[in-house]
């Protein structure tokens, strides 16, 4: 059986997220791999991938907040909302300066509704929206609720080669946001709030949850030594169980637990999604299960250990 754990990949711009997984299959000799949070083809940065039974934990990774930087180009909009797409609108942004941009950014923090780009992986009638867009089909993208934790300008005046329209200003922006946020759509909407049009370039994902791209590896440099344990990526508290307790959890039954679990009580979720999760480890510290902590008991959720 292939080892279970996480791999931190630094995806290059121009590489698909799917192709970025190929080195994992080769290095770990398995097809049981997956990843959390697809990056656009032109985007670069952190992808958290998993092998073996750790693939079951990817939804928890994907739910983490993410940090991106991107360059906003003001003055034109393209069909893909990227800097080199086909121009669909040319505007004028000569009056926009940094102060004006910073004044509108608070409109886009907190819980907001966002309409995804037409070129994206959202399914419309069973097919990706980008497939319909390439075929010229007329369809409607419905807004989705997202959360923007923070937005700030981190630079201005940068030059990106290959712009397909006339830009009047560029700004580099850092964004901390929830799952489901489209940076390209965010750039479009910020430009419209400024009374002009816009697109983006140089999208890079720097962080997912507590994990930074500085800890990631390029696919061509990947070795088995880069495998991370699940507790190195997900920050659930760890509780140690004795052999009898672990046997009960392994069989899918709950165990009584009278002690408080530091960290579990502080876990927060949005809406109704506020499960308090812990890792259950054996006496040697090996994490074997993800469990749900409730006052007075621990209930099994996902078993990660080897089959008996």
- Which residues are known catalytic residues? 40
HEC readout, the chain: CCCCEEEEEEECCCCCCCHHHHHHHHHHCCCCEEEECCCCCCCEEEEEEEEHHHHHHHHHHHCCCEEEEEEEEECEEECCCECCCCEEEECCCCCCCHHHHHHHHHHHCEEEEECCCCCCCCEECCEEHHHHHHCCCCCCCCCEEEEEEEEEEEEECCCCCCCCCCCCEEEEEEEEECCCCCHHHHHHHHHHHCCCCEEEEEEEEEEECCEEHHHCECHHHCCHHHCECHHHHCCCCEEECCHHHHHHHHCCCCEEECCCCCCCCCCCCCCCCCCCEEEEECCCCCEEEEEEEECEEEEEEEECCCCC
């Amino acid at each position: 059986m292939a080892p279970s754990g996480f791999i931190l990949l630094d995806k290059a711009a121009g590489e698909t997220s799917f192709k970025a997984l190929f080195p994992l299959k080769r290095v770990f000799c398995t097809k049981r791999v997956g990843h959390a949070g697809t990056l656009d083809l032109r985007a670069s940065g952190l992808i958290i991938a998993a092998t073996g039974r750790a693939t079951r934990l990817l939804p928890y990774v994907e739910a983490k907040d993410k940090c991106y930087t991107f360059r906003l180009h003001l003055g034109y909009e393209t069909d893909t909302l990227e800097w080199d797409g086909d121009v669909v609108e040319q505007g004028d942004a000569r009056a926009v300066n940094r102060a004006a941009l910073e004044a509108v950014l608070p409109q886009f923090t907190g819980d907001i509704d966002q309409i995804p780009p037409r070129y994206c992986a959202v399914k419309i009638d069973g097919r990706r929206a980008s497939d319909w867009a390439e075929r010229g089909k007329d369809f409607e993208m419905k807004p989705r609720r997202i959360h923007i934790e923070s937005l700030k300008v981190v630079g201005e005046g940068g030059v990106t080669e290959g712009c397909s329209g006339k830009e009047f200003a560029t700004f580099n922006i850092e964004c901390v946001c929830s799952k489901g946020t489209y940076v390209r759509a965010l750039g479009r909407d910020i430009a419209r709030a400024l009374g002009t049009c816009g697109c983006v370039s140089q999208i890079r994902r720097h962080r997912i949850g507590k994990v930074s791209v500085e800890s990631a590896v390029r696919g061509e440099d990947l070795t088995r030594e880069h495998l991370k344990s699940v507790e190195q990526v997900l920050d659930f508290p760890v509780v140690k169980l004795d052999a009898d307790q672990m046997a009960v959890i392994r069989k899918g039954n709950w165990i009584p637990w009278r002690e408080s679990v530091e960290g579990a009580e502080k876990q927060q979720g949005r809406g109704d999604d506020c499960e308090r999760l812990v890792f259950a480890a054996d006496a040697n510290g090996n994490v074997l299960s993800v469990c749900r902590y409730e006052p007075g008991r621990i209930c099994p959720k996902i078993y990660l250990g080897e089959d008996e």
